[in-house]
Amino acid sequence: MSTPGKPLRADAQRNRAALIAKAREVFETGNFDLRFDDFARLAGVGTGTLYRHFPTREALVEAVYHEEVAALCDRARHLRDTLPAAEALATFLRGMVDHMDTHEGLARTLATLMASGSGALAEGSRALEQAVTDLMAAAVQEGTVRDDVGAGAVMMALHGIGAAHDRPDWRAEADGVITLVLDGLLAVR
């Protein structure tokens, strides 16, 4: 395993990225039967490389989860920097529904595999809530979103949307819930 703070060599970075990419693909399918050592073969690396980067399946799951959360938080920052605040918030929340829809298998697999009590799930949730907090703060400052609703309420709505994914008309209902949330956040003028 790499030493925290010490940068990886280029080949080690490529191997780590290949393992995470392959794990993401496998997790997306919901394949729970795959042996941990098989991730090395699928990524085109040796088992020693797998264990050097990820000593356990849980460590690999956490790495995939951290990358997913980091990408979502980066998207929130990019939207906040490039769009009017209310539009950035709306685009991010609608994008979260798109993400849940597109990556349903990955989300379910990560939730199942991380049920072991890993702190990574809570850490990721805090990072996403901070991203929503920042988007909402910008919209409040812009005067387009009310200041008496916190990001926690928006996160609860997102969690509820994700938890209801098995509903027959989920996508339309999820989009409707986001519309309700956004309408409810509008500042009264």
Q: What is the pLDDT of residue 2?
A: 47
Residues 63, 51 within the same domain: no
Q: Which of 39, 55, 71 is the last residue of a domain?
A: 55
Would you say residue 174 has pLDDT above 80? yes
Instruction: Kindly report, residue by residue over 96-107, the tens digit of the pLDDT.
Output: 999 988 888 777
How far is 187 from 176, CA to CA, in rounded Å? Answer: 19
Whichever domain contains 4, its CATH number is 1.10.10
Q: Are 38 and 4 in contact (CB under 8 A)?
A: no
Residues 115, 32 within the same domain: no
Residues 51, 84 within the same domain: no
Kindly indicate the confidence band of residue 139, based on its pLDDT and cuts at 50, 70 and 90. Answer: very high
- Supply the range of the domain harboring residue 40: 1-55
Q: What is the pLDDT of residue 12?
A: 84
Whichever domain contains 144, its CATH number is 1.10.357.10
Residues 37, 20 within the same domain: yes
Residues 51, 65 within the same domain: no
Enter the tokens of residue 114.
């991380």
Would you say residue 166 has pLDDT above 60? yes
Kindly indicate the confidence band of residue 134, based on its pLDDT and cuts at 50, 70 and 90. Answer: very high
Residues 98, 29 within the same domain: no
Residues 115, 151 within the same domain: yes
Mean per-residue pLDDT for 133-152? 96
The model's pTM is 0.84
How many domains does the chain divide into? 2
Mean pLDDT of the chain: 88
